[in-house]
């Protein structure tokens, strides 16, 4: 059972700054509640028992929110003194990890995946990292992911308009030794410097396709859309 999650919540949120300027983007209000509340509530219902928050920009606001809204939550946090990239943030957060594998999520994304399915898939293939993939149509905001027939990831492709395809949903099930046993710098991109390099070792990185609700509030248009998305709002009802 997956019991531990790292939440990446240290970003500057520059693309959202025009509509959310007074707080980190994971605390952007959706129907009057900080977005992070939806993510924590959902993951808690899915048996996540220890949260590790990787913080940076306005970290004090996130800590205050956690203490007020979730006073009984079992959590740890790390704070970047300078931006470390997604990989550096994960590496730093793994220092607080208590389990051999950990779920990694973005603090500005809600992907309503089945964690049991993700873990069964991960265990069956005995892989280093499983990436949750979302099928999409008519998209250009995200890069796409292509798989081999066995489900291992063949390539991550750059952003361009596609009529259909798979995107990286920003949720990973990671064997933490895969990071800690590598000679990785303190500052690096998880996507570019780890995932994209590992796919050259066929069978190391797999994609688990889940066609379920997904929203990323990183741009104003999708932030506004989140305000009325019933599948998101129902999480805290």
- pLDDT digits 0-9 by tens, 23-50: 999 999 999 999 999 999 999 999 999 9
Question: How confident is the model over 193-236, as pLDDT tens digits?
Answer: 999 998 887 768 999 999 999 999 999 999 999 999 999 999 99
- Round to whole Å and give the CA distance between 133 and 113: 9
- Cα–Cα distance list, 186 to 4, 56, 82, 100, 171 (Å): 22, 15, 11, 20, 21
Pick the range with the lowest mean pLDDT from 15-24, 100-109, 146-155, 190-199.
Answer: 15-24
User: Is residue 233 classed as helix, strand or coil in its secondary structure?
Assistant: helix
Residues of the domain holding 105: 4-236
Are 168 and 133 in contact by the 8 Å Cβ rule? The answer is yes
Q: For 152, which DSSP code?
A: B
Strand ranges (E), the chain: 4-9, 29-30, 33-34, 50-55, 75-79, 101-106, 109-111, 129-139, 144-147, 153-157, 162-175, 205-209, 214-216
Which structure tokens are listed for 54? 């990787």
DSSP string, 10-31: ----GGGTTT--SS-GGG-EET
Q: Of 50, 127, 55, which Cα lies nearest the Cα of 90?
A: 55
Q: In the prediction, which pLDDT does 167 show?
A: 98
How many domains, in total, are found in the chain?
Answer: 1
Q: What is the CATH number for 220?
A: 3.90.550.10
């Amino acid at each position: 059972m997956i019991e531990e999650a790292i939440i990446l919540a240290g970003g500057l949120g520059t693309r959202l700054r025009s509509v959310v300027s007074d707080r980190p983007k994971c605390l952007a209000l959706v129907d009057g509640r900080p977005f992070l509340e939806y993510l924590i509530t959902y993951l808690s219902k899915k048996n996540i028992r220890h949260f590790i928050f990787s913080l940076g920009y306005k970290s004090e606001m996130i800590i205050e929110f956690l203490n007020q809204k979730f006073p009984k939550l079992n959590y740890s946090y790390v704070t970047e003194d300078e931006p470390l990239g997604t990989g550096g943030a994960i590496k730093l957060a793994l220092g607080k990890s208590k389990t051999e594998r950990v779920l990694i999520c973005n603090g500005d994304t809600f992907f309503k995946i089945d964690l049991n399915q993700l873990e069964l898939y991960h265990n069956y293939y005995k892989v280093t990292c499983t990436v949750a993939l979302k099928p999409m149509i008519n998209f250009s905001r995200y890069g796409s992911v292509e798989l081999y027939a066995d489900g291992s990831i063949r390539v991550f492709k750059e952003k361009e308009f596609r009529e259909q395809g798979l995107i990286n949903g920003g949720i990973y099930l990671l064997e933490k030794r895969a990071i800690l046993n590598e000679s990785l710098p303190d500052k690096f991109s998880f996507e570019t410097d780890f995932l994209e390099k590992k796919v050259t070792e066929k069978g190391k990185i797999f994609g688990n396709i889940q066609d379920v609700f997904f929203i990323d509030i990183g741009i104003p248009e999708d932030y506004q859309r989140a305000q009325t998305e019933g599948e998101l709002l129902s999480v805290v009802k």
